Structure 1
């Protein structure tokens, strides 16, 4: 039997079993040490207190002007499903305006020759059809939407709201105020006036363009995140680290909020770029909307950098690049779970033991999240309409244990390792789940035309009214350009998919049948 051979100075040498065992043991010790060092370096910075600016970011903005504005919630989707039903149920239960659905039953996927690729491009045209029709007032049967009325656009299948509309709107103004302060500082030495941010889009941790090989995302030219640069310790933003340890600084098209007029202009620009690219590229190469939205935003950011550069003043051109778009860097409004699969979970802030356990499972120890943000603490108790004064801190809320963000909406887009199943397994963890039927029925019986939010403003308050009020127990309104009006849709119509079990078995789970 031949012994194992290695080469040293050209001579053969025997390696005996005892020596081999020692070698294996030494390699094991070294690997164990390296793994321990990795985790020590990864978590050592969590021993430091979190930057206090992260915890004091909810001061009421002083830029809100008193008066009245409307709020519309828009969902692009072409057919019924229990997942769509959850999105709408979360909105109605929390007091949001009943959603407006665009592209309903729209199977003319002319922008997508390959039916195997999801045609997310219809989000662009469907939302724009509504904005142009409502803002321009081209139909007498469609309620008029003012240029400054607020519009929220969300993915219709996997985004759950968890905080009420007054918190959404307060944060909208606060985020814009912080962004505009940064812009004013950046433009302080520039002859041109600083641009104003009015549109906020969801932010994510990866620079990607699903179903799109055409759009240029300009990943290297985008602004850095305003979050602390040591948020995840020494691994923050390193290319070799997981996406989980990167700060969110790339556009995700799952959530938008902004004035109707500015959103219309942004969507027009995106639609024009889409149509231009479709004329020169195979449709299979351009089947996703996110890349186009991200490209237009990136061009805006590149334009801004050129404007404030002392070495490169851009020539005046006819093409417009400024669309007043910024990102939800803190993920206070919309929280995509893709790239943050372990960073957050549902927890009660009052349950200290569970809070510490959940934080530790996310890799954050000692605890960073101790209390609710002020805007949640100041809000009415979540079940006060049902004569239950239980506080928000005793309710199950989704939180990110690294950033301490408790977002308005959770975007359940994590998919690796079967995490899409969270759309089923996490649903009953929401604070409103066990009260869903009661909250929705109470909403149907109440005066739905009343204000959805009242925000402190300069010299008074801002009253926010629903864009369209329901007439009865409808779940949503349907819009199509050819209809030029809104049509009411029942819960059964928007929730029950063909060939599927009854929708209420998944959405309500209370054994009491339909709504």
Structure 2
């Protein structure tokens, strides 16, 4: 409409609204945020004279450049449904984890890749993701399917992951190597495995994965006192266990590619364990740590020089010196021996069961004067059932039995029955949700938001698109098929919750 045809009051020049968020102001806000996080990072290490504060500050500021909206991908190697896979899926659902993707679902096992399918199928999944998933800093959680339970919600897992990474990177800074570039990659921990106390496969004893890897941190004094009072022994968790892995997409992908190269090109086909993901990933970690020892020696000079051959047999030392030694060869093909691998030394993420589980207990935090993880203090475990079961609406996390390591007083986020598989049956009824398990599962909706952690909004990954409204709980196959709870686990409900398939709602 021409201006002259408008009413006079509309033809008058209207005052323009001031633009508040200009490019200049945006830059100023970014600077202020950086200064704030830099100050926080400085406070974290200001009392530790052994930490290189410049390296540490750079490490913490880099976290600002991740996306503000990030996703968690949950991968579970699983070829078929069993009672124990349904335990895994049930615990994921009730604790509001993203729907897991079952790797190799419905396929034959073993095949040409044997037990390496955890690695090969993870790579296939990651290669299908859009570039945006890697760019925004999504995380991948890869866990065993038939002997592992999700014990606490994903917000606890993510908070514990970042806190544990911070501590292991502080240690790299104390050693003087955090952020140093090695053949194009910075030394920095980003991929976390669960930690175990035996080094296995057993024939690997004396290899770098068993002898050159870092010693775990010592127990704090309070934990030592509990250990003595209870007459228990803290098992030193020094060695890699591939049952739990969490890390950024790019780093997980690089590590898995190197593992597949090692498997396909370097291992003896006659070796019955050549196809074992535990062995291959341990060897990669051992090579990383051997190179880190060399780097520490180069940085600190002869006065603090470490001997990388301590504990190694003459045969192993000769093998390490061989340029065709598989991990060394693969590291060179990969372009760098640095994979960002570290371990969950204090069971912040996954609790691997000690023999008999004697150092574990089921306790109510409110009854034992224990502190809950921060993420649980303002939420309720039965919030999905509050409308149907009024008596559950006020039940808090401190009122239900949670798994606790009685030596270090850590509530464990994941539980792995690696060597004590009989406990999957005897401990299952102890889980906090068990009396209402089927009701909680039926009330669940997939893709619930996770929460705000480290300044980012975390949500469930949707690798195969969204689900229709009203879709119940379940999982994905790695081919993009939605697997409802009923399809995967209905026939096992009686074994899990004492409900027959005929009477289940």
Q: Which has the higher contact order (CA 8 A, sep 6+)?
A: 1
Deviation of 1:477 (Å): 0.5
Q: How does 1:169-318 map to 2 (within 5 A)?
A: 169-187=158-176, 195-209=187-201, 216-228=207-219, 245-278=234-267, 280-282=268-270, 284-309=272-297, 310-311=301-302
| 2:417 alignment counterpart | 412
Q: Is the 8 A contact 1:206 1:339 kept in 2?
A: no
Indicate whether 1:68 and 2:60 are aligned: no
Q: 1:434 to 1:475 in 2, by over 3 A?
A: same
Q: In proportion to residue count, which structure has more helix?
A: 2
- Please identify, of 186-195 and 78-87, the stretch whose mean Cα deviation from structure 2 is larger: 186-195
Q: 1:401 to 1:213 in 2, by over 3 A?
A: closer
| 1:506 alignment counterpart | 495
Deviation of 1:87 (Å): 0.6
Structure 2, gaps ≥5 residues long: 1-59, 309-327, 387-392
Q: Which string of whole-angstrom CA distances, capped at 9 and with x for unpartnered residues, describes residues 142-197 of structure 1?
A: xx665621110000011111111111111111111112222122116997586221
> What is the distance in 2 between the residues matched to 1:83 and 1:281?
31
Indicate whether 1:491 and 2:480 are aligned: no
> What is the distance in 1 between the residues matched to 2:467 and 2:88?
17
- Secondary structure at 2:73 match in 1: strand
> What is the distance in 1 between the residues matched to 2:377 and 2:62?
20
> What is the distance in 1 between the residues matched to 2:220 and 2:379?
35
Q: Which string of whole-angstrom CA distances, capped at 9 and with x for unpartnered residues, describes residues 292-337 of structure 1?
A: 1111111111111111212489999664210111100011111110
| 1:96 alignment counterpart | 97
Tell me the TM-score normalised to structure 2 length.
Answer: 0.71
Indicate whether 1:343 and 2:332 are aligned: no
- Secondary structure at 1:351 match in 2: helix
- Please identify, of 309-318 and 405-414, the stretch whose mean Cα deviation from structure 2 is larger: 309-318
Q: How does 1:351-362 map to 2 (within 5 A)?
A: 351-352=367-368
Indicate whether 1:128 and 2:127 are aligned: no
- Please identify, of 255-264 and 191-200, the stretch whose mean Cα deviation from structure 2 is larger: 191-200
- Secondary structure at 1:326 match in 2: strand
| 1:167 alignment counterpart | 156
Q: Which string of whole-angstrom CA distances, capped at 9 and with x for unpartnered residues, describes residues 26-70 of structure 1?
A: xxxxxxxxxxxxxxxxxxxxxxxxxxxxxxxxxxx9985461011
> What is the distance in 1 between the residues matched to 2:191 and 2:178?
25
Q: 1:214 to 1:125 in 2, by over 3 A?
A: farther
Cα RMSD after superposing both structures: 3.4
> What is the distance in 2 between the residues matched to 1:264 and 1:443?
31
| 1:80 alignment counterpart | 81
Deviation of 1:277 (Å): 3.6
How many aligned residue pairs are there? 400
Deviation of 1:78 (Å): 0.9
Matching residue within 453, 475, 481 for 1:455: 453
Q: Is the 8 A contact 2:86 2:489 kept in 1?
A: yes
Q: Is the 8 A contact 2:70 2:136 kept in 1?
A: no
> What is the distance in 1 between the residues matched to 2:93 and 2:135?
23
